[in-house]
Amino acid sequence: MTKLSVNINKIATLRNSRGGDVPNVLQFAKDVQRFGAEGVTIHPRPDERHIRYQDAKDLKRVVYTEYNIEGNPIDSFLKLVLAVKPTQVTLVPDAEDAITSNAGWDTIRHKDFLVDVIQEFKRNGIRTSIFVDPVLEQIDGAKETGTDRIELYTEGFAHRFGLGDEGAIKPYTECAELANALGLGINAGHDLSLDNIKFFKDHIPGLLEVSIGHALISESLYLGVENVIQMYLHKLRQ
């Protein structure tokens, strides 16, 4: 079964836009789990423009499903994750000024760096995942780093699928098949939505988890958070 992890960055963005504590990030994390989400994802950035490092620490008290922290493993991020010890850390090579994640790791070029980081997390009992583009060589490279899982970067699929190109799924399916053969777990995320999630899930063998934030929160403005979470779960379980 594919698990749904809800990325709550956008809730922190809304809170930060006015100051204060409305909406409350911790309460929202509690609610999405109560509504059926099987995980909570955050992606703190160095400027703390949405999720703050203190949020990451505070959320540890209320996330009783899977807790996934994404980010670029700079020193401050490493210290945060080792202090919090979430269920999973997802390594993302985003620049400090990136609006959102826009590329996967070059697992071949950065192999030695990734090996060192992953070993440290695994010594602390934290499951590791690497954000990767749907390129077969990068899946092979990910295996060499010692990571537990990969997270397929799905923006390319979502864009092309939205234009009617169902063939956009092919490289993702091929990478999933290779990952399965190599014994790597498979996660996915970025621009997955109610419009494309079922098609994506149906074509990715062994898909363990999807992390969805921007689309899910946007859809919830019209349909309600609890309802949207149930809609995702229904599509993932069909």
Q: Which of 70, 151, 209, 219 is catalytic?
A: 70
DSSP-derived secondary structure letter, 35: T
Q: Which residue has the tokens 């490279």?
A: 141
Q: Which of 151, 190, 209, 219 is catalytic?
A: 190
Is 43 assigned a catalytic role? yes
Is 110 assigned a catalytic role? no
- Beta-bridged to residue 212, according to DSSP, are 6
DSSP string, 27-65: HHHHHHHHTT-SEEEE---TT-SSS-HHHHHHHTTT--S
C-alpha count within 13 angstroms, C-beta hemisphere, residue 46: 12
Token readout for 39 is 């995980």
**Do 156 and 168 contact (CB within 8 A), yes or no?**
yes
Spell out the residues 6+ positions from residue 223 whose beta carbon is closer than 8 angstroms to its own.
231
Is 155 assigned a catalytic role? no
- Beta-bridged to residue 128, according to DSSP, are 89
Q: Which of 38, 43, 66, 219 is catalytic?
A: 43
Long-range contacts of 168-171 (CB under 8 A, 24+ apart): 169/199, 169/200, 169/203, 169/204, 171/134, 171/135
Token readout for 31 is 């609610």
Active site residues: 43, 70, 190
